[in-house]
Structure 1
Amino acid sequence: MGAGKLPVLRVGEWVRFDGDEHQVVALAGTSVRLRSRGGVAQVVLLAFLLAAADFELLDEQQAVPAVEPLGLLETLPHEVLERARRWERHLVEVVTGRAPEAPEGAGPRPGYDPAASTLKDRDAAKAVELSAAGQPTSARTVTRMRLRYAEQGLWGLVDQRYTRGSDPVGRADERLVTAIRAELDAQTHASTGTRGRLMRRVRTALDAEHGPGVVPIPGRSAFYELVGVLAGGRHSFGAATTRRSLANRPVAPFTPTFATRPGELVQIDSTPLDVMVLLDSGVPGRPELTMVVDVATRTIAAAVLRPAGTQGRRRRVAAGPHAGP
């Protein structure tokens, strides 16, 4: 690099710094966010990075790693998330040659040295290691998991069977479910009946609409269990006054909200603190705490403590190139 000629850093480029190779994942003013091949992230000043003795701009350029959906990861069972993290540790060793828990300064284990083996060789070595440890795995599986990790991060290593939403009615016939719901709706303003009466009415309605015996009716226990799922919160077999009161209740103004990326949705709220403080005016008063919370990461983005009187509000930020709190 010629004297006086400074490199132009771009997001996605790789640099050598502090004895390791890092990818530029974000640029903000005079700060640079780096992520090493081992997955360790750090933020350094641009001037400090460029002045480092071993700084070098590498030719390799890859896509910026996707932000992991932290909110979704927290919804997984503990054992499923731990299995994904074990895979992550194995794959970091395959890609970088060193396991995340390796001692500082330790070299690659035999078979995992990037200077002496290809990625295909290391995939095969990891498959042999896992199989010997009682976890039968093929080199093709290791390669597939490695590619998914490169594309989706930790989320790509999660067993996808646990990410699908479950259907509360199971495999029940949709025609049967529709008929039960229709009878439950009709019972809202009628006198309270029994599950046996509901079963007879559902059978009559199905036979009239689809023909006798066309839609099978499960046994009494299975039918009652299905009705219990569909009638949840309705009080269909409880007090009629409660059932009618719930039916007349207006729709709630708020619905559950979900966010999978930082900045996609932030919530702002204020709460008065149950303490008395001396304000700048010399008058005692109660302070009020206002906080901005990022829904996806569940982190506090900002907080302000001031005299009571602030107004909290909730705001949705559209995801996209201009997303932000």
Structure 2
Amino acid sequence: MRALIIERDFLRRSVNVEIVKYFKLFKHVYFGETLSGSHYMLNQIDVLFISVENDQHFQQTLEELKEQTHIKVIPLVEKTEADIVKDTEAYIEKPVTLSKTERALRKILSESEQTEQLKVHAELRIKMFSDIMIDTMEPVDVKWRTRKVKELFAYLIHFKDTKYLETSYILEALWPGLPEKNAKNLLHTSIYHLRKLLKLFNYNYSIRYKHGKYELRIPFKTDVDIVQQCLKEQPSPQNIKQVMNYYKGRYLEREDYIWAEEFRQNIHEQVIQYIQLGLKNEKMFRDEIVSTEAKHFIEKYMNNSEKH
């Protein structure tokens, strides 16, 4: 982790020598007197400690950091100004002391340590056929804050092979025709709510922003992945059954996202052709149950194709 400290007189206090020693837990620590003068560092840090003078100053700081959704902000405030930042995850009342710094950092570090252990987290199972759903064995109540939060998640999953997604592409796909400033505000709000939702699954650092691009940083597997893997293999009764079990409707058809239309049509045609090819396989005739189910499947989705 890397940290940036914005405080005009941070290094003038006697206790700060000890506090800086504590910062050795970070890979790098940078110091600056103003945020505007240190703006070039924002893409290099994970945690920002910044002195807050008043509410207007704090709101201006948040505005400047809108696109830096990967940064955890820890305000440094006078006791009389503490109400300004009471809703933040962590803050430090001045005078800054080692114990106060430790308490604030524990909250941040505990999240970061979980983030670094992504590989030990269970994969999220995500359904994309018919509608997007998070399929989990955990007792988690998944509620989309808005339809755009749901669409944003679907969009990030859809383009999972593109590691970093350009902000401009997301804006054009989800808010076409909207003024850029308005669209960006809606994107930032949606990112916030999506990250909050993913925290329910212990992913505390799920979406990273870097150089004008966003990256989804969670382990997951979709029903589309399973079906596509089957489509690469010969249409055996086992694979046919697997495809039919997971293909419960056209790709994201309930929301009918325009950006998903081409893939929706392509995967639908591939599935139909795969099942039809399987019905010509002699092994299929030996498995009467799967053969009958496959015929019903073709009949159902061929009719569905005509409606579309």
**TM-score (ref. length: structure 1):** 0.25
Structure with more strand by fraction: 1
Instruction: Identify the structure with bigger relative contact order (alpha carbons < 8 Å, sequence gap 6+).
Output: 2
**TM-score (ref. length: structure 2):** 0.26
Structure with more helix by fraction: 2
